[in-house]
Amino acid sequence: MIAALLLGREGSVGFPGKNLYPLLGRPLSEYPLRAALAAASVDEVYLSTDSPKLKDLARKHSAQVIDRPAHLCTREALGEDAYAHGYRHIKDALKQDVELMVLLFCNAPCVLPSQIDEAVKVLREYPDYDSAVTVSRYNMYSPVRARRITPEGLLQPFIPFENYPDGMRINCDRDAQGDVYFADVCLSVVRPRCLENLQDGLLPQKWMGRRIAPIKNWGGLDVDYEWQLPQVEFWLRQNGFTESKTPY
């Protein structure tokens, strides 16, 4: 049994209503939901939320609804705890062991059914791996370029350069240090043990465990601000979505 679990809550401070924002004529959340429903490896699809409109969207597409408790719907609540809650609900509801959990966010639409199936294949082939997750290459956001503002109002490296490995190239070429991959949180396929033992997971996304396989993506992100939407629309169009048709 492989179950997919989407997370999306009602409240958002940075971008109110983001999970239902219309993009190419569809709510943002519909894209990861469609991917889960179309993946050949997924048996059941669930959406955990406190939003009546998201619940309606899930039911419209024949997905199961999990009522997300209030303490997991606050701004301070962590996604890892909501995932763990959803996993326990699913396991109890199905009354059987779950082989893998496909974890998605309603505001992270850049995922394809084929990537879900690829991640499942990887984990079945390598039983010692904890998870397989989508990653996007963003060399322009390398840690060596990150800065913080000091109390006196000046810029300093966010991570002091002496903390980087010896011999690592650091210059103004964005590719100098090598490729930089970010877990774009558009997809995490994890073994149940990751959700049962969150304390053992690698920060900051502890639900991924520690032995994490990459599933290459491009342009992936979770939408937190309205200005990110053009990038998502470009990704969707490049993958066959328009206002009038969908690839699956």
What residues contact 45, with CB distance under 8 A and at least 6 apart? 3, 4, 6, 33, 36, 37, 61, 62, 63, 64
Residues 105-145: pLDDT tens digits?
Answer: 999 999 999 999 999 999 999 999 999 999 999 999 999 99
Residues of the chain predicted below pLDDT 70: none
> What local confidence, expressed as pLDDT, does residue 47 receive?
99
Contact between 36 and 112 (Cβ < 8 Å): no
Gyration radius from the chain CA atoms: 19
> What local confidence, expressed as pLDDT, does residue 12 receive?
81
> Which H/E stretch holds residue 82?
helix 79-94
* CA–CA distance, 38 with 35 (Å, rounded to integer): 5
Contact between 186 and 222 (Cβ < 8 Å): yes
> What local confidence, expressed as pLDDT, does residue 14 receive?
83
Long-range contacts of 19-25 (CB under 8 A, 24+ apart): 19/51, 19/54, 19/106, 19/107, 20/51, 20/53, 20/54, 20/57, 21/223, 21/226, 21/229, 23/109, 23/229, 23/232, 23/233, 23/236, 24/233, 24/236, 24/237, 24/241, 24/242, 24/243, 25/243
How many residues are given for the chain?
248
- The SS3 of residue 174 is coil
Q: Could you give the angle at the alpha carbon of 23 between the alpha carbons of 109 and 60, nearest 5°? A: 75
2-137+182-238: in CATH 1.10.10.10? no
Domain boundaries, the chain: 2-137+182-238, 139-179
> Which H/E stretch holds residue 101?
strand 100-105
